[in-house]
Chains A and B, each alone.
Chain A
Amino acid sequence: MQWTLRMILATVMASILGCSEDHALPARFHEDRIDTPEHLTAEYVGGDVVLQWNISTPAEVLYYIVTLSEPGSGVEWKYTAPGDQQSFTVEFTWTDSVYIFHVEAVDATDFVGESSNADTVFIPQ
């Protein structure tokens, strides 16, 4: 009887002591999935804002998402730019305000990559 109890307890303890760590992290896919647009510049030219950026692997990009936000109101507008270009002209009804721009690349699986640096433009009226 006591040997049975001892064996049961030893088995339970050994199972806990010897249990494996079954919480391994999965492969971290999102960092290298698609490159990030870099060196984004925004310039107010002739009533429009012209954006330019660089990306090291443009062939992987299906299209870009250009985001324009107005900090004062917190409102955002989004545009899509073709994947084979690294510039975009934003046509907008500007008001006397500061606007912030950033760009994200999207691949063929609709995965939206990391946001580029933001650039700010003040539009005087």
Chain B
Amino acid sequence: MRNLVLALALIGIVTPGTIQAEDETFATRKIGTPRAAKFLSAVFPGLGQLSTGRRIAGTILVVSEMGALATTLTANENYKTRLDNFARLKVEYEEMSAGNSEHDIAQQRWSELTKEADDLDNLHRIRRVFAGVALGVYVYSMLDILLWDPPVSGTEVSWNLRAVPGARDAPTRLMIAGRF
């Protein structure tokens, strides 16, 4: 990599000044202490596990929680939108009971209402199930970090600043990378 960057520098794609920063650690911080792991897991499930080096468990928990939350929130938003439509149809239907309306139109509105109610039932079920999953993942993550596998030591993270050469017309970019 150094040779490649040096070669690119020689042909003028990147300037030599940008190469000097590569692979130089400019900051080191110890994370993954028990206190930090508990805090991170309280903020979002799986972060505490990731900070203590348990990448697979942490990744599964983060992805599960994100998926469950995304599904819950999407279903919740859809529910609220459909609920507005349902409320409008319901008002229209109830206004027909005052008279000056027709059976066929009322029957059509009733069919739309029952379909909306079925869809709302499904969305309500989805948001409850996935909210339960999200809550379960959160509880599991906290129990995992608090009771079953408490972190005993910290993990040192080194932060590097790297120069990334761009293409022929693109500028050179800087990249900050943390190594767990």
Instruction: Using CB atoms and an 8 Å cutoff, list the residues of chain A in contact with chain B.
Output: 1-3, 5-6, 9-10, 13-14, 16-17, 19, 21-30, 33-34, 104, 107-115
Interface residue SS majority, chain B = helix
- Is the pair A6, B42 in contact by a Cβ cutoff of 8 Å? yes
C-alpha spacing A5/B142, complex, angstroms: 12
Q: Which residues of A contact B131 (CB under 8 A)?
A: 13, 16-17
Distance of A28 Cα from B117 Cα, bound (Å) = 14
If A21-B121, A23-B116, A28-B110 touch, does A16 touch B127 (CB 8 Å cutoff)?
yes
Chain A contacts for B99, CB-based, 8 A: 107-111
Q: How far is the CA of A22 from the CA of B106 in the complex (A)?
A: 22
Q: Is B70 an interface position by the 8 A CB rule?
A: no
A2 vs B43: C-alpha distance when bound (angstroms)? 7
How far apart sit A107 and B106, CA to CA, in the bound complex (Å)? 15
Nearest B residue to A5, CB-CB: B42
Distance A25 CA – B119 CA, assembled complex (angstroms): 13
**Min CB–CB distance B72 → chain A (angstroms):** 6
By a CB distance below 8 angstroms, the chain A residues around B72 are: 16
Checking B101, B103, B120, B134 against A114 with a beta-carbon cut-off of 8 angstroms, the contacting residue is: B103
A109 to B83, CA, bound (A): 30
* Contact across chains for B103 and A113 when beta carbons are under 8 A apart: yes
Name the B residues within 8 Å of A34 (CB-CB). Answer: 103
A84 to chain B, nearest CB (A): 20
Residues of B within 8 A of A23 (CB): 83, 86, 116-117, 120-121, 124
**Separation of A26 and B110 alpha carbons in the complex (Å):** 9
The 0/1 profile, CB within 8 Å of A marked 1, for residues 6-44 of chain B is 000000000000000000000000000000001100110
**B171 near A: Cβ within 8 Å?**
no
Chain A residue nearest to B118 in the complex (CB): A23
Q: Check B102 for interface membership: any CB of A closer than 8 A.
A: yes
